[in-house]
Each structure stands twice: as C-alpha cells, then as structure tokens.
Amino acid sequence: MTNSNFQALVFDLDGTLLVGEDLPSANREALLRAKAAGYTIIIATARWVHMAHRIAKQLEIDHPVIACSGGQVHDPKLGQDIFDARLPMAFTEELYALCNAQRCIATVTVDEEVLLKLDGEPDPAMLEPEMRWVTQLQSDANNLPRIAAIQGSAVCAQIKSELKTKYADEVNVFDSIGPSGKLVITITAKSATKGHAVTAACAHLGIDPQQAVAFGDAENDLAMFAVCGASVAMGQASPQIQQAATYISAANDAGGVALAVNRLLELGRL
C-alpha cells in the first residue's frame, strides 16, 4: 500500500499512543511529522473528551476527537458534538445498582462531568477538574452516561453474567486495559463504537474512512479497524486484535506507534 492513498491517521490512546499517562516523545515527533506531511490526526479513545483534548493539545491538533469509546465525537472548532450516544435508562439503573452494592471503581461520563464512584474519598488534588466523587451512583433520565468504565473483579463478573446478555442488543461491553495496566470493562450504547465514530468524524471532515489508518490494541478498536482502509495493531495486543490488523508493530512501550508511522512516511507502505 502507498501512503498517497491515505489522508488520516486514527489513534487509540491507552495501550497505543500512550504508555501509562505519558505521551512518549518518539510518538509525538512521529505524529508531528505526519501532520506536517498533510495527514489529519484523529484521537479515538475510551477516555472522556476533556482528556482527549489534553492529548490533542500536546500534538498541536484541533480536529474532532472521538471520546468515550465512540460515544462522543466533539469538534473543538465548533465547540459542539457531531455524534453523541447514551446508555439506555433501564440498563443504567441496573448497572448503577450493581456498582452501588459492591466495592468497585466506576468512572461514568455524563454531560459535562465525570462521576467517580469510589468507597473511600480520594484526594481532591488527584482528580481532574471535571471529575466529581460520589459514594453512590444515581440515574438521571436527562443525563444518561456516554460510557461507564468499571474496575473490580466481582462486579465485572456480575455485569458480564447478568447484564451483558440481557442487554446484548442495546449495549457494548468490552474488556480494556486502563492506564494502570489493570483490566477495565467499558460499556457504551450499541451505536457507540469507534467504527461509527470514525465514520462520523471522517464524514464531517470530508474524508473517506478507507483513506484512514487506525492504530489500536484492544477489542473496542476492532470496529475502527473494520471501517478504515488499513490498521496497525500494537505488539502486545491479543492474537484476535493482531489477526484483524493490516500490520503488526512493536508494543506500545517499545515505540510501536512511532515505528509504524515512520515506516508509512518513509517507505510509503506498512
């Protein structure tokens, strides 16, 4: 494949572009090179939109960002969403009941804030400005979640056994790896996939998704692999993810993104 066919590069954050909370300098430099070469850089993450924009700022880009695992596409130039999908009310009520009944860490992104359900009060200095600590989650039909990220082996097992099948036609439940490296399940509405979000972002930008290359490492990245013209899996990704990709790079903590981007720029192929 030649790079002349591609106009956009779409990057997952955790386990792909980032190492923990850090944006490695090699990755930043590679993306700035790609930007200078004319590529549109799009972030596609399970993180909430405020965090996505913070990374975008480090990369000096102001294109739409895909947040909440595809639940939101936000255009910073317009200051508005171009795609917004929420979890259904009935599911939200049952999810909150399970989380409230057990010890867990639940991060729930609603309209303009992020609710953190945690049994012990966290140090306020450790929270992002948009985060609000709660001891119990309360459902609100006028402010349903875009995404819920749940950590805790017992509650995650219960969500998978009791809710995943029951609401299979309405929600997505994916295994992801959080910044700490621990397993987190991410839950979104059925229409909230990175594939749908990439399609919406590309349409907004006047780009055919087949002219985009997706970079990822986890199950929720498969949907954008499917709609993009090419895809790059990180070296630490599972066999399922690697088999779905066009190209397998090194692990994220071994410069996988920088290696693949530089290869594309220098050789014109993956």
Domain residue spans in the chain? Answer: 3-84+192-267, 89-189
Q: What is the pLDDT of residue 2?
A: 40
Give phi and psi for 13, each to the nearest 5. Answer: -95, -75
**Alpha-carbon gap, residue 255 to 98, rounded angstroms:** 39
pTM: 0.91
Provide DSSP, 208-250. -GGGEEEEE-SGGGHHHHHHSSEEEE-TTS-HHHHHHSSEE--
- pLDDT tens-digit series, residues 63-94: 999 999 999 999 999 999 999 999 999 999 99
Is domain 89-189 annotated with CATH 3.10.105.10?
no
Average pLDDT, the chain: 94
Is domain 3-84+192-267 annotated with CATH 3.40.50.1000?
yes
b/e 191-225 (16+ beta carbons within 10 angstroms → b): ebbbbbbbbbbbeebebebebbbbbbbbbbbbbbb
- pLDDT tens-digit series, residues 132-179: 999 999 999 999 999 999 999 999 999 999 999 999 999 999 887 666
Instruction: Enumerate helices (H) and strands (E) in the chain, giving the number of each.
Output: 8, 14
